[in-house]
Amino acid sequence: MITQHFKWLRKSKTHAPWRKNYPSLNLIATSTVFQQDHNGYTHQDPGLLTHLGEKTPEFIREYLPADSNSLFAVMEKALSDEDKVNVIVTSKHPRPQFYSVSEARELVREGHKVIDWVSNDQGQEPDVVFAAAGTEPNLEVLEAISLLHKAFPTIKIRFINVVDILKLRSPKVDARGLSDKVFNQLFTETKPIVFAYHGYEGQIRDLFFNRDNHNVYIHGYRENEDITTPFDMRVMLEMDRYHMAKEAATAVLAEEAKYFAEEMDHTIAYHKTYIRENGDDIPEVRDWTWENINQ
Work out the average pLDDT over 121-131: 95
Please, are residues 108 and 77 in contact by the beta-carbon 8 Å criterion? yes
The pLDDT value recorded for residue 216 is 98
In words, the CATH class of domain 2-286 is: alpha beta
pTM (two decimals) = 0.95
Share of the chain above pLDDT 90, in %: 78
Provide the CA 257 distance to its chain's centre, in angstroms.
25
- Place 6 in a pLDDT band, splitting at 50, 70 and 90: confident
CA distance 189 to 181: 10
The pLDDT value recorded for residue 127 is 98
Q: Which residues pair with 161 in a beta bridge?
A: 113, 132
As a residue count, the chain comes to 295
SS3 277: helix
Q: Which of 272, 287, 285, 283 is nearest to 228 (CA)?
A: 272
The pLDDT value recorded for residue 223 is 85
CA distance 193 to 208: 11
Please, are residues 204 and 218 in contact by the beta-carbon 8 Å criterion? yes
The pLDDT value recorded for residue 285 is 96
The pLDDT value recorded for residue 242 is 99
Identify the top-confidence range among 26-30, 55-59, 191-195, 287-291. 191-195
Q: In what order do the strands lie in the sheet with 25-29?
A: 25-29, 85-89, 60-63
The pLDDT value recorded for residue 227 is 82
Among 61-70, 138-147, 223-232, 264-273, whose mean pLDDT is lowest? Answer: 223-232
The pLDDT value recorded for residue 39 is 55
If you count DSSP H runs as helices and E runs as strands, how many of each does the chain have, helices first?
Answer: 12, 8
Q: Which residues pair with 25 in a beta bridge?
A: 85
Crossing angle between the packed helical segments 135-151 and 241-253, to the nearest 10 degrees: 50
The pLDDT value recorded for residue 33 is 79
Q: pLDDT tens digits, residue range 32-87?
A: 778 765 555 666 678 889 999 999 899 999 999 999 999 999 999 999 999 999 99
Provide the CA 54 distance to its chain's centre, in angstroms.
19
Q: pLDDT tens digits, residue range 104-123?
A: 999 999 999 999 999 999 88
Q: pLDDT tens digits, residue range 218-243?
A: 999 998 877 889 999 999 999 999 99
Domain definitions of the chain by residue range: 2-286
